[in-house]
Amino acid sequence: MRIPDPSFSPHDGLNKALELLASPSCDVVELPFTLPESGLGDKRVLEMLSGHVLGKAARLGSPTSLAHMDPPTPWITWAMALWNASLNQNMLHEMTSPFGAQAEARVLSWLVPYFGMEGGHFCAGSTIANLTGIWAARDAVGIKKVVASQAAHLSVEKACRLLGLDFVKVAVDRKGRLDCNRLPNLDDACLVLTAGATVTGAVDPLDLVGAAKWTHVDAAWAGPLRLSRSHSGILDGIEAADSVAVSAHKWFFQPKDSALVMFRNLDIANAAISFGGDYLSKPNVGVQGSRSAAAISLLATFLAWGREGMAQRLDHLMQMADSLADAIEKSDHLELWGRPQTAINVFRPTYSSTAELVKALPPGMLSTCVLDGQTWARSVAANPLVDMDLVVERILAASREDA
Ligand SMILES: *Cc1c(COP(=O)(O)O)cnc(C)c1O
């Protein structure tokens, strides 16, 4: 290989990549079936892949995109992702990530007070954040079982399996919240409360925080509402939790893989989840070893938008979800499962099947879910660019046609 190797230097090919991002090529070139013996060259590959990667992806910022918790991402995060990829800092080694470590500390110091926490770290998602919180609970205070509602995210049960802990599922009430009257003894338990259940957006009663030996709040979805003056009250009580998980790649509009796990008592938690190693200058905290500087992207977003800019987008999405709920409630052709608690609507057609309704609408508009054995349509307001008037119009029209 020639030195310098141009594949590792800044290149005008990056401009080409930006051009294609703005207008992806429509031709979809067949990919080689076997590993190519000789390379096709960087620029040729950009062209070849743009039709696939850019052309075939779901458009999460489209005016009708409302199906999932995955948001479109602001362009400042694309820039940070590019810088991060080019530098490839590793948060495991402070030497390779002097600014990454500072960025993570700074953005955490901004956010932890909203959750009553002392500190924490970034990780690849709330699946990992939940595992980390429950791991800390097991090894810091010796909990023996995990108690959560039947609507808790599957990552909670996964964590129990990995950690060898019993998992006790508690029924939910009519609004999808953990039913306080069905709780087992919590003296030796980690209670996991969900703030924004994945299917319904329900928030478990957070006045239960502190009722168990350790309380972990899975705020993967609704955690960011803490930054909204109008909606932070939905999460009141979270500040007394022992640990909290928030997915930044959901309602903080970050590219994957970005989430936070936070602890009320950082020293106690970190002591339980840290490993030293001869080759490490500081202990490795948490589940992951090598880890990206994803915090830089969240730092950039908060610098660009401020708390207010973040809150405005969340408030807008809460309002969009409410206006959809109003329209569903008014319609004779649709049944609303319940008022949205955290911008998720669950509903179904009165006179036809949910599957037919969803099929009649643009792909990516609605997802489906099963509640009490029935199939429902589900919308998640994660997309600030959604055109809710258009969405309402399409849903109402489809529900009338189906009837
Ligand atoms: C999405 C979600 C998770 C898992 O988070 P990932 O970031 O996808 O790993 C956990 N809990 C809840 C309530 C969620 O909505």
pLDDT in tens, 27-69: 788 999 999 999 999 989 998 999 999 988 899 999 999 999 9
Question: Residue 402: its pLDDT value, please?
Answer: 63
Rounded Cα distance between 172 and 264, Å, is 27
Amino acid 73: pLDDT: 98
Ligand 1, atom 7, residue with closest C-alpha? 125
pLDDT in the model for residue 11 = 82
Q: Which atom of ligand 1 is nearest to the CA of 256?
A: 7
Among 170-184, 271-285, 293-307, 315-329, name the one with the lowest average pLDDT.
271-285
What region, left, alpha or beta, does residue 228 occupy, with left being phi > 0 and alpha being psi -120 to 50 degrees? beta
Please check whether residue 325 is in contact with residue 350, taking contact to mean a CB–CB distance below 8 angstroms. no
Tell me, what's the pLDDT at 7? 87
The CB of 67 under 6 Å from ligand 1? The reply is: no
Task: For tokens 């509640």, name the residue.
Answer: 371
Nearest alpha carbon to residue 379 among 333, 307, 327, 309: 327
pLDDT reported for residue 390:
98
Q: Is the CB of 247 under 6 A from ligand 1?
A: yes
Cα 152 to ligand 1 centroid, rounded to whole Å: 10
Q: Whose CA is nearest to atom 15 of ligand 1?
A: 198
Who has greater pLDDT, 402 or 386?
386
360 C-alpha to ligand 1 centroid (Å): 28
Assess whether the C-beta atom of 220 lies below 6 angstroms from ligand 1. yes
Q: How far apart are the CA of 307 and the centre of ligand 1, in A? A: 23
The pLDDT of residue 159 is above 90:
yes
Q: Is the omega angle on the peptide bond into residue 384 within 30 degrees of 0, that is, cis?
A: no
Pocket test for ligand 1, best of 127, 204, 235, 253 (most atoms within 8 A of CB): 127
What is the number of helices (H) and of strands (E) in the chain? 11, 13
Q: Find out whether the peptide bond into 278 is cis, omega within 30 degrees of 0.
A: no
Comparing CA positions, the residue from 135, 67, 63, 163 lying closest to residue 390 is: 63
Mean pLDDT of the chain: 95
Among left, alpha and beta (phi > 0; psi -120 to 50; other), residue 147 is beta
Q: Which amino acid appears at position 22 of this protein? A: A
Q: Which of 70, 122, 126 to mutate to test the pocket of ligand 1 (most atoms within 8 A of CB)?
A: 126
DSSP state letters, 188-239:
TEEEEEEBS-TTT--B--GGGTTSSSEEEEE-TTTGGGGG-TTTGGGGTTGG
**DSSP label of 141:** H
Closest-CA residue, ligand 1 atom 1, reads 220
Of 28-37, 203-212, 223-232, 310-319, the one with minimum mean pLDDT is 28-37
Nearest to 382 by CA among 270, 253, 294: 253
Q: How far apart are CA 160 and CA 78, in angstroms?
A: 35
Residue 1's pLDDT band (boundaries 50, 70, 90)?
low
User: For the chain, which domains are there?
Assistant: 13-52 (no CATH), 76-303 (3.40.640.10), 307-401 (3.90.1150.10)
DSSP reduced 3-state for 392: helix
- pLDDT for res 277: 67
pLDDT > 70 in the chain, percent: 98
pLDDT at position 290 over 70? yes
Does 127 contact ligand 1 (Cβ within 6 A)? yes
Is the CB of 254 within 6 Å of ligand 1?
Answer: no
**Residue nearest atom 5 of ligand 1, based on CA coordinates:** 126
How far away, in angstroms, is 403 Cα from ligand 1 center? 35
Query: Is any atom of ligand 1 closer than 6 Å to the C-beta of 223?
Result: no
Q: What confidence score (pLDDT) does residue 403 get?
A: 63
d(CA 203, CA 243) in angstroms, rounded, equals 16
**What mean pLDDT comes out for the span 270-292?**
88
pLDDT at 280 over 80: no
* 243 ligand 1 Cβ < 6 A: no
pLDDT tens-place string over residues 345-371: 999 999 889 999 999 999 999 999 999
> To test ligand 1's pocket by mutation, which of 225, 247, 249, 257 has the most ligand atoms within 8 angstroms of CB?
247
149 CB near ligand 1 (under 6 Å): no
Least confident among 52-56, 106-110, 243-247, 300-304 = 52-56
Q: Quick check: CB of 155 below 6 Å from ligand 1?
A: yes
Ligand 1 pocket test, candidate residues 70, 128, 150, 155, most atoms within 8 A of CB: 155
Q: Atom of ligand 1 at shortest distance to CA of 194? A: 13
Query: Which pLDDT does position 31 carry in this prediction?
Result: 93
Confidence label for 296 from pLDDT (cuts 50, 70 and 90): very high
Give the Å distance between the CA of 40 and the centre of ligand 1.
Answer: 38
Helix (H) or strand (E) holding 85: helix 75-87
* pTM reported for the whole predicted model: 0.96
Cα–Cα distances in angstroms (integers) from residue 299 to residues 101, 102, 245, 313, 314, in the given order: 12, 10, 18, 17, 18
Comparing CA positions, the residue from 238, 46, 263, 16 lying closest to residue 139 is 263
Q: What is the pLDDT of residue 381?
A: 98
Q: What is the per-residue pLDDT across 95-138, written as a single tens digit (0 to 9) for each?
A: 888 899 999 999 999 999 999 999 999 999 999 999 999 999 99
> For residues 240 and 102, is the Cβ–Cβ distance under 8 A?
no
First to last CA, the chain: 67
| Cβ of residue 132 lying under 6 Å from some atom of ligand 1 | no
Pairing, β 145-149 against β 166-170: parallel
Please give the pLDDT value at position 278: 67
